[in-house]
Amino acid sequence: MTKLSKQFFYRDTVIVAQELLGKYFVSNLKDGKVVGKIVETEAYKGIDDLACHASKGKTNRTEALFGETGRLYIYLNYGIFWLTNIVAHRDGVGAVLIRAAEITEGFDLVNNRLSNHRFVKPNDKPASGPGKFSVAFGINKDFHKEDVTESCKIYIEDRGVTISKFDLVESKRIGVDYAGHCKDFLWRYYIKNNTYISKK
DNA sequence: AAAAGGATCACCT
DNA sequence: GGTGATCCTTTTT
């Protein structure tokens, strides 16, 4: 059980997105610890990817995407949800959106967090979707640029689970119909037949 | 100072 | 599978 390193994220964004499946996401905050197996991710890669915020250029908001790998890129979506991304690229720009996880530890805390949120309700799939994922793990703006390869609050563990290519499903990314020719890229990945993905 | 834009969710059919 | 609710940050003037 080892913590993912800087090198892990310093590779092609698509590869990192695939290999994050089966890894364990850990948040250890003041109010307790939550652990979950990552079951769904999406790659946002390069300034030519119209779905990637970096395609709009380098601004205060998107600056992190151009920076050091292994750090979190957190941004607000629909004025409501903080979405959790990890900066990952080999040369240039990119990040992996964490879309869903299978909670393995900290169920009560997750339940409390969902209950206290305005727009989500507790259920049996508490982290099946990027908005709910962030709520479940207590992630918000405060963790923007947190380095998951060094932090003791937010980090990712390799517990020896590997997903065979037969269990790896690739599909179109969700909610990016505005992205022109990029909208059909098969840059969403999830574990086949897993119950906790956001949608088929 | 003002406007626009959503990498969603829950609920309905 | 489709629709409506919802509102804060970023971006632009």
The confidence score (pLDDT) of residue A20 equals 98
Strands (E), chain A: 2-3, 24-29, 32-45, 72-77, 81-87, 94-105, 154-158, 168-171, 188-191
Does the structure show a pLDDT above 80 at A200? no
Q: What is the pLDDT of residue A18?
A: 98
> Is A107's CB less than 7 Å from nucleic acid strand B?
no
Per the CB < 8 A criterion, the answer to whether A86 and A143 are in contact is no
C-beta of residue A161 within 8 angstroms of C-beta of residue A37? yes
Tell the burial category of A119 from Cβ atoms under 10 Å away from its Cβ (0-12, 13-18, 19+): exposed
**Residue-level pLDDT at A199:** 84
Q: What is the pLDDT of residue A82?
A: 97
In this predicted structure, what is the pLDDT of residue A31?
95
Nucleotides of strand C within 7 Å of the protein's CB atoms: 1, 5-12
State chain A's mean pLDDT as an integer.
96
Q: Chain-centre distance of CA A114, in angstroms? A: 18
pLDDT band at A1 (very low <50, low <70, confident <90, very high): confident
